[in-house]
Amino acid sequence: MSAYNDGNYLTEKGRALIAKLMASETEIKFTRATVGSGSVPVGSSPKEMEALAEHRVDGVLSEISVNNPGEVQIVFQVFSRDVQVGFLASEAAIWAEDPDEGEILYTYVVMDNNPEFIRASSDPVQKFAEFTCINIVGSVEADLTVINPDAIATRRMVDALQTEVDTLSAIVRSSILGARKDIVIPTTGWQTGAEEAPEYAYYIDIEIEGVHSRLTPMVTVNAEDMEKAYNICLNSVAKTGDGFVRLYANEIPNEEINASVMLLMPAADGGDVPGGGGGGGEYVLPTATASRLGGVKIGDGVAVENDGTISIDGETVLSDDEIIATDEDTEDVIKEVFGE
């Protein structure tokens, strides 16, 4: 039986490292785990340990996480494949990087009272052991990325990862499928001189909680207010910023306009939406060409109904001088081809 209870002990060098990193506001970097078959020497204590009493094998860091303030939980694995002679694991250590001394023994783990037998690689039955060590770090931030790629993913790790994936997927789905926000386009608060849309005389920023510049907005005017929107040439293309959606128009409305904004698909890597210009969540509709879909403007002789239906007045489009053929012209052609 050991004179010390099984558990994790912060060493003196580990305590000194915390103070040093707090002063420099530097992260602590854990480097490795080791397992041995020794005990704390007589006349010494766990906090004085600077190395294992009897080192036997290195462990594989598989998880580093912060579960409680001031503590970092490290999970490490030991494999029989790395052991030539089986042994009782009665001690372990977590090592960390000291900027002045190099690698130091940070946490010493006593397992004397409940040792774990680790089989040799030559045994017909192989051993995989997993140990969890709680490390005191105080207010020092920890580098949580030091994970060995050789670690085996346990069921617990897979379940935890699946939970994270499910949570992230829900967030992404929410962003991609969009969130619909009802808005009222006011008659006041309009400004001039939007650099990103100089072709529009006015713009207004409508505050919407939770909006950010990487969301793409789609504006839909309520059916009963379509004529109001048409009269001011309200653009359905909008721009998002942090906390607002920006709308553009050529006239300031005389009446409030009821509409909604659908916020879609966060743009990748910095926010530009494919096919768009500028940045943030802005999308600029490209001009239509013979080979590309895009936007067009309504010219003379073309009418647009409130529901978006386009119609053409032939008499307005073509003057008498521009008509392609009269009835008399058509009759003359028929006579020439088929005779009288």
Confidence grade of residue 279 (pLDDT, cut at 50, 70, 90) = very low
Per-residue pLDDT tens digits for 100-115: 999 999 999 999 989 9
Q: Quick one: tokens of 176?
A: 């991609």
The count of other CB atoms within 10 Å of the CB of residue 3 is 11
The domains of the chain are located at 7-151, 179-294, 298-340
Per-residue pLDDT tens digits for 304-319: 666 556 666 555 545 5
2: exposed, middle or buried (Cβ count in 10 Å: 0-12, 13-18, 19+)? middle
Q: Quick one: tokens of 131?
A: 């140990």
Please choose, from the candidates 213, 206, 200, the residue with its C-alpha nearest in 3D space to the C-alpha of residue 240.
213
In DSSP terms, 216 is beta-bridged to 264
Question: Are 191 and 270 within 8 A, CB to CB?
Answer: no
Per-residue pLDDT tens digits for 186-232: 999 999 988 888 888 999 999 988 888 888 888 888 988 988 998 99
Please tell me the distance from the alpha carbon of residue 75 to that of residue 154, in angstroms, as a whole number. Answer: 11
Helix (H) or strand (E) holding 173: helix 155-177
- The mean pLDDT value of the chain amounts to 79
So what's the pLDDT on residue 235?
Answer: 87
pTM, two decimals, is: 0.48
In DSSP terms, 166 is beta-bridged to none
What percent of the chain has a predicted confidence (pLDDT) above 70? 67
Which residue would you say has higher pLDDT here, 25 or 339?
A: 25
In DSSP terms, 205 is beta-bridged to 246
Residues in the chain: 340
- pLDDT for 323 beyond 60: no
Please tell me the distance from the alpha carbon of residue 329 to that of residue 313, in angstroms, as a whole number. Answer: 23
- pLDDT for 177 beyond 60: no
